[in-house]
Amino acid sequence: MTVALVWFRYDLRLNDNPAFIEACSHHQFVIPLYIYDGKNSVSGEAQDWWLHHSLTSLSESLAQLGLNLILRKGDPFEIISDLVKKLSVSSVYWNRCYEPAAISRDKKIKAALLERGIEVQSSNGSLLHEPWTIKNKNGDYFKVFTPYWKHCKQHLNIQPSMYLENRPAGIEVQSEVLKDWKLLPAINWAAQFSEYWTPGEAGAQQKLHEFIEHHLNDYKKNRDFPIKNATSRLSPHLHFGEISPWTILRAIELAKLNPNCDLSSADHFLSELGWREFSVYLLYHFPKLPYENFRSEFDAFPWHNDKELLARWQNGLTGYPIIDAGMRELWATGYMHNRVRMIVASFLTKGLLIDWRLGADWFLDTLVDADLANNSASWQWVAGCGADAAPYFRIFNPVLQSQKFDPDGHYIRHWVSELSHLQSQYIHAPWESADSERIYLTTHYPKPIINHHEARTRALKYYNQLKKK
């Protein structure tokens, strides 16, 4: 009798899951395990909501195979060591994680298991390319996205689908109760989440199908307009590993065979998968990415870090409708449209001069899709201090961005209801209306907390001073 332990992490699915499928292919008994290590988790409360429902879905899928998902809370090293000893486990399987703390943790566990004669098999369950396999002509890692992704595409061998063929038996093991972990909020601020999301592998597959069927062809044209349902919204499913990037890639490549497919849109969408990969790649090669400027000259940047202004930004009370719409969408749904993410991040870092790390922390706590790599890389990109960063002089004008990507104000009206009665010509900048005093008096909507043009001039002064050093 051989017993395998499968340690689920950010791979909460059964199909296209190399660790799970390999374990089932080679062992008579399989023990699926999930460990909640709250102490070392970088996810916030929004992701705890998602995790609860995703684990419920995974448990139900495993039950259909006659397997029970074992839940444990605590230190993975101690939990795995204890289970291996008590259950005579001969092999442990997992899919690799790429966050610095996870790499260190996994090395420690692997070394201890190997010393005890336990086989350990780790697999790539979340990336198209392992980060150490992609190098530039100098043998170093890429620091700019375009040549990185070009190289990746040239060395991309599409992997075949992995499906479960052998069904091993389970072993009766006592599990903790998911609801006892209290991942769901006591005060249900996440009440609307379920209107927008269906966590789990089935929900991910449905999202992919709907996107390809209804939105792929117009993706490039419509992706920047937040009121349009034009993006895939697969990011939280990818973050929790409910769907594999290979599954998405194969589906898009199959769609491209349709003569009616807009190839430009399809390739543009695939480049977003590339940005996700590039973020993990950067984190792997620069582990300090979440807390240290990639470009060290930014260490001298004079952040103001006004706590009151930060709170106004977090609560969607800045007086700039597109900013407030985005921040309120985030709070209500655990999500924000990507174009709006760039606008609100630019406003925080270059308008309010608040450290990008404070914005990144807020996103980690409130986004259902925020992972350490993508979140850190994206915030550094907007702030101008990251790899392949936006130029320091690119400071989004929130009014112009609003007029361009929400021209009729539908997105603003949806999330900033107190302005829903305004005409489109004034909804982007209520202060420009001849009737502005009455608007502010009757709606109780706040006046702008900064003057954008003055803030832009101030930010450029600081950025130019960095250039001279």
Choice among 124, 303, 418, 431 that is catalytic: 303
Report the alpha-carbon distance of residue 197 to residue 338 in Å, rounded.
17
Active site residue 272: yes
Choice among 210, 272, 292, 418 that is catalytic: 272
Active site residue 197: no
Q: Is 48 annotated as a binding residue?
A: no
Q: Is 235 annotated as a binding residue?
A: yes
Choice among 7, 313, 379, 415 that is catalytic: 379
Token pair listed for 283: 């984190």
Active site residue 189: no
Q: Is 19 annotated as a binding residue?
A: no
Q: Is 265 annotated as a binding residue?
A: no
Report the alpha-carbon distance of residue 180 to residue 248 in Å, rounded.
34
Active site residue 415: no
Q: Is 232 annotated as a binding residue?
A: yes
User: Quick one: three-class SS letters along the chain?
Assistant: CCEEEEEECCCCCCCCCHHHHHHHHHCCEEEEEEEECHHHCCCCHHHHHHHHHHHHHHHHHHHCCCCCCEEEECCHHHHHHHHHHHCCCCEEEEECCCCHHHHHHHHHHHHHHHHCCCEEEEECCCCCCCHHHCCCCCCCCCCCHHHHHHHHHHCCCCCCCCCCCCCCECCCCCCCCHHHHCCCCCCCCCCCHHHHCCCCHHHHHHHHHHHHHHCHHHHHHHCCCCCCCCCCCCHHHHHCCCCCHHHHHHHHHHHHCCCCCCHHHHHHHHHHHHHHHHHHHHHHHCCCCCCCCCCHHHHHCCCCCCHHHHHHHHCCCCCCHHHHHHHHHHHHHCCCCHHHHHHHHHHHHHHCCCCHHHHHHHHHHHCCCCCHHHHHHHHHHHHCCCCCCCCCCCCCCHHHHHHHHCCCCHHHHHHCHHHCCCCHHHHCCHHHCCCHHHHHHHHCCCCCCCCHHHHHHHHHHHHHHHHHC
Choice among 15, 68, 338, 397 that is catalytic: 338
Active site residue 7: no
- φ/ψ bin of 305: left (φ > 0), alpha (ψ from -120 to 50), beta (otherwise): left
Q: Is 269 annotated as a binding residue?
A: yes
Choice among 275, 397, 418, 431 that is catalytic: 275
Active site residue 338: yes
Q: Is 426 annotated as a binding residue?
A: no
Task: Evaluate whether 363 touches 239 at the Cβ level (below 8 Å).
Answer: no
Q: Is 240 annotated as a binding residue?
A: no
List, as residue ranges, the binding site for FAD. 219, 231-235, 269, 369-371
List, as residue ranges, the binding site. 219, 231-235, 269, 369-371
Residues annotated as part of the active site: 272, 275, 303, 338, 356, 379
